[in-house]
Amino acid sequence: MGVNTFTDEHSSAVAPLRIFKASIVDSHNLIPKLVPQAIKSIEFVQGNGGTGSGGFGSVKYQIDELNEKTLTYKYSLVEGDALIEGLEKITYEVKFEPSPDGGSISKVTSKYYTKGDFVLKEEDIKAGKERVLGMYKVVEDYLLKNPDAYV
Protein backbone atom coordinates (compact mmCIF):
# COMPACT_ATOMS: atom_id res chain seq x y z
CA MET A 1 0.00 0.00 0.00
CA GLY A 2 1.22 3.47 -0.88
CA VAL A 3 0.18 6.88 0.40
CA ASN A 4 0.09 10.00 -1.78
CA THR A 5 -0.27 13.28 0.16
CA PHE A 6 -1.44 16.61 -1.26
CA THR A 7 -1.84 19.96 0.50
CA ASP A 8 -3.90 22.90 -0.73
CA GLU A 9 -4.80 26.33 0.62
CA HIS A 10 -7.77 28.50 -0.33
CA SER A 11 -8.45 32.04 0.80
CA SER A 12 -11.88 33.52 1.35
CA ALA A 13 -13.34 36.88 2.31
CA VAL A 14 -15.61 35.03 4.79
CA ALA A 15 -14.54 34.74 8.45
CA PRO A 16 -13.32 31.26 9.44
CA LEU A 17 -16.06 30.47 11.98
CA ARG A 18 -18.85 31.33 9.53
CA ILE A 19 -17.48 29.25 6.67
CA PHE A 20 -16.70 26.36 9.05
CA LYS A 21 -20.26 26.35 10.41
CA ALA A 22 -21.82 26.55 6.94
CA SER A 23 -19.55 24.23 4.95
CA ILE A 24 -18.82 21.66 7.67
CA VAL A 25 -21.14 21.70 10.69
CA ASP A 26 -24.39 22.43 8.82
CA SER A 27 -23.40 21.04 5.42
CA HIS A 28 -26.04 18.32 5.61
CA ASN A 29 -28.73 21.03 5.57
CA LEU A 30 -27.13 23.79 3.47
CA ILE A 31 -25.39 21.96 0.61
CA PRO A 32 -28.50 20.16 -0.76
CA LYS A 33 -30.33 23.52 -0.79
CA LEU A 34 -27.52 25.30 -2.64
CA VAL A 35 -26.74 22.59 -5.21
CA PRO A 36 -29.85 20.38 -5.47
CA GLN A 37 -28.89 19.38 -9.00
CA ALA A 38 -25.71 17.76 -7.65
CA ILE A 39 -26.55 16.73 -4.07
CA LYS A 40 -29.96 15.28 -3.36
CA SER A 41 -29.39 14.80 0.35
CA ILE A 42 -26.83 14.19 3.04
CA GLU A 43 -27.88 11.68 5.65
CA PHE A 44 -26.19 10.34 8.74
CA VAL A 45 -26.27 6.57 8.92
CA GLN A 46 -24.56 6.58 12.28
CA GLY A 47 -24.35 9.36 14.84
CA ASN A 48 -25.49 12.97 14.54
CA GLY A 49 -22.79 14.50 12.39
CA GLY A 50 -20.09 14.64 15.04
CA THR A 51 -17.04 12.42 15.35
CA GLY A 52 -17.84 8.83 14.39
CA SER A 53 -20.69 9.76 12.05
CA GLY A 54 -20.89 8.76 8.42
CA GLY A 55 -23.17 9.33 5.46
CA PHE A 56 -23.75 7.99 1.98
CA GLY A 57 -25.55 8.47 -1.27
CA SER A 58 -22.93 7.59 -3.79
CA VAL A 59 -20.18 7.99 -1.19
CA LYS A 60 -19.70 7.04 2.44
CA TYR A 61 -17.59 9.13 4.78
CA GLN A 62 -16.39 8.44 8.30
CA ILE A 63 -16.05 11.63 10.36
CA ASP A 64 -12.90 11.21 12.43
CA GLU A 65 -12.80 14.61 14.14
CA LEU A 66 -15.03 17.68 14.24
CA ASN A 67 -13.67 20.41 16.51
CA GLU A 68 -15.59 23.69 16.57
CA LYS A 69 -13.03 25.34 18.87
CA THR A 70 -10.02 24.76 16.63
CA LEU A 71 -12.09 24.84 13.39
CA THR A 72 -10.69 21.50 12.28
CA TYR A 73 -12.42 18.65 10.50
CA LYS A 74 -10.96 15.24 9.68
CA TYR A 75 -12.81 12.63 7.68
CA SER A 76 -12.24 9.56 5.53
CA LEU A 77 -13.87 8.51 2.27
CA VAL A 78 -14.36 4.77 2.78
CA GLU A 79 -16.93 3.70 0.15
CA GLY A 80 -18.61 4.91 -3.01
CA ASP A 81 -18.27 6.16 -6.53
CA ALA A 82 -15.52 8.65 -5.71
CA LEU A 83 -13.32 5.83 -4.39
CA ILE A 84 -11.97 4.55 -7.69
CA GLU A 85 -10.67 1.02 -8.05
CA GLY A 86 -7.16 0.80 -6.68
CA LEU A 87 -7.81 3.11 -3.75
CA GLU A 88 -8.38 1.75 -0.26
CA LYS A 89 -9.50 5.09 1.20
CA ILE A 90 -8.90 8.83 1.11
CA THR A 91 -8.47 10.89 4.27
CA TYR A 92 -8.91 14.63 4.56
CA GLU A 93 -7.81 17.13 7.19
CA VAL A 94 -9.35 20.60 6.93
CA LYS A 95 -8.43 23.59 9.09
CA PHE A 96 -9.82 27.11 8.86
CA GLU A 97 -7.65 30.00 10.07
CA PRO A 98 -8.16 33.77 10.11
CA SER A 99 -6.45 35.78 7.39
CA PRO A 100 -5.02 39.27 7.97
CA ASP A 101 -7.85 40.88 5.97
CA GLY A 102 -10.61 39.47 8.21
CA GLY A 103 -11.38 36.54 5.94
CA SER A 104 -10.09 33.01 6.21
CA ILE A 105 -7.58 30.54 4.86
CA SER A 106 -8.61 26.92 4.58
CA LYS A 107 -5.82 24.38 4.62
CA VAL A 108 -6.64 20.94 3.26
CA THR A 109 -4.42 17.86 3.39
CA SER A 110 -5.59 14.86 1.36
CA LYS A 111 -4.04 11.41 1.67
CA TYR A 112 -4.80 8.77 -0.95
CA TYR A 113 -4.15 5.21 0.23
CA THR A 114 -3.54 2.95 -2.76
CA LYS A 115 -3.82 -0.82 -3.05
CA GLY A 116 -0.90 -2.86 -4.35
CA ASP A 117 0.94 -1.30 -7.29
CA PHE A 118 -1.88 1.06 -8.21
CA VAL A 119 -0.64 4.38 -9.61
CA LEU A 120 -2.78 7.43 -8.94
CA LYS A 121 -3.48 9.56 -12.03
CA GLU A 122 -3.18 13.32 -11.89
CA GLU A 123 -6.54 13.79 -13.67
CA ASP A 124 -8.33 11.77 -10.94
CA ILE A 125 -6.86 14.01 -8.24
CA LYS A 126 -7.64 17.17 -10.20
CA ALA A 127 -11.27 16.16 -10.82
CA GLY A 128 -11.86 15.49 -7.12
CA LYS A 129 -10.27 18.78 -6.08
CA GLU A 130 -12.37 20.72 -8.59
CA ARG A 131 -15.62 19.21 -7.25
CA VAL A 132 -14.72 20.05 -3.66
CA LEU A 133 -13.56 23.57 -4.54
CA GLY A 134 -16.77 24.11 -6.52
CA MET A 135 -18.92 23.29 -3.48
CA TYR A 136 -16.71 25.46 -1.27
CA LYS A 137 -17.18 28.41 -3.66
CA VAL A 138 -20.98 27.93 -3.69
CA VAL A 139 -21.06 28.10 0.12
CA GLU A 140 -18.71 31.10 0.11
CA ASP A 141 -20.92 32.95 -2.41
CA TYR A 142 -24.00 32.20 -0.29
CA LEU A 143 -22.32 33.59 2.83
CA LEU A 144 -21.14 36.73 1.03
CA LYS A 145 -24.69 37.38 -0.22
CA ASN A 146 -26.19 36.59 3.22
CA PRO A 147 -23.98 38.38 5.79
CA ASP A 148 -26.29 37.47 8.69
CA ALA A 149 -26.15 33.72 8.00
CA TYR A 150 -24.05 31.57 10.32
CA VAL A 151 -22.87 34.39 12.57
| Structure confidence by residue, pLDDT tens digits, 85-142 | 889 999 999 999 999 999 999 999 999 999 999 988 888 788 878 888 888 999 999 9
How far is residue 29 from each of residues 26, 34, 45, 124, measured CA to CA in Å? Answer: 6, 9, 15, 28
Higher pLDDT, 56 or 59: 59
d(CA 57, CA 96): 26
Is the pLDDT at 55 greater than 90? The verdict is no
d(CA 47, CA 139): 24
Q: pTM for this one?
A: 0.80
Give the pLDDT of residue 41. 61
